[in-house]
Amino acid sequence: YGDDYTRTFISSNGFLSFGDGDGGCPDCNSTSTRSFPNPDAPNNMIAPLWNDLDPTDGGNITYKYVMDMPDKFVTQWTEVPEFDSGGNNTNTFQAILYYGSGCIEYKYGFLDLQVLFGGNPTVGVENIDGTVGLDYPTASILDGSITCVRLCYDGTNYDVVDVTGDPL
């Protein structure tokens, strides 16, 4: 939302938050998903698949800065299971932040959300105080018909500029 940050908090629960230290994100391991915008913490976030996930039960979370035109910061959750699923219900997805353009891509591989929130994660983006945000409907992501969502900042808000079925 027009602000630059040098630090990010990568949540095991499928989102990124920005700020100082721990990402400036009180309650960043929150498992209570909700629609955007919402002033309740956590805020200032990019949420490719916010749900109660548990990488201690399997899978991994990785990130890297890719110096390639365009430069990007990629975070990937690979085969991370839902909490309390016994290591089952694994999920693979990415958040890709493109430097200089204000664009973000969410890419999805295999998703198997079932146990906790009825398989209903939050997908979207929200500003620092939770007053402006974009909530993306999840049905087409969860059924596999949409595997890539591209959001771009227009100086005021984020808008969906492209959705595809291209696999992760």
- Enumerate residues 6+ apart whose C-beta is below 8 A from 14: 47, 48, 49, 50, 51, 53, 77, 80, 91, 93, 121
Q: How confident is the model at residue 119 (pLDDT cuts 50, 70, 90)?
A: low
> Residue type for 10, please?
I
Which pLDDT value is given to residue 26? 56
31 closest CA partner among 56, 46, 14: 14
Is 80 exceeded by the pLDDT of residue 168?
no
Q: How confident is the model at residue 108 (pLDDT cuts 50, 70, 90)?
A: very high
| β-pair partners for 97 | 73, 104
pTM of the model: 0.90
d(CA 61, CA 80): 8
Average of per-residue pLDDT across 53-70: 92
Which pLDDT value is given to residue 88? 85
- Contact of 125 with 151, CB cutoff 8 Å: yes
Read off the pLDDT of residues 121-148 as tens digits, 9 standing for 90 and up.
899 999 998 999 999 998 889 888 889 9
> In the numeric block, which tokens belong to residue 84?
């309390």
Place of tokens 């839902």: 82
- Looking at per-residue confidence, does 141 or 120 come out higher? 141
Is 80 exceeded by the pLDDT of residue 116?
no
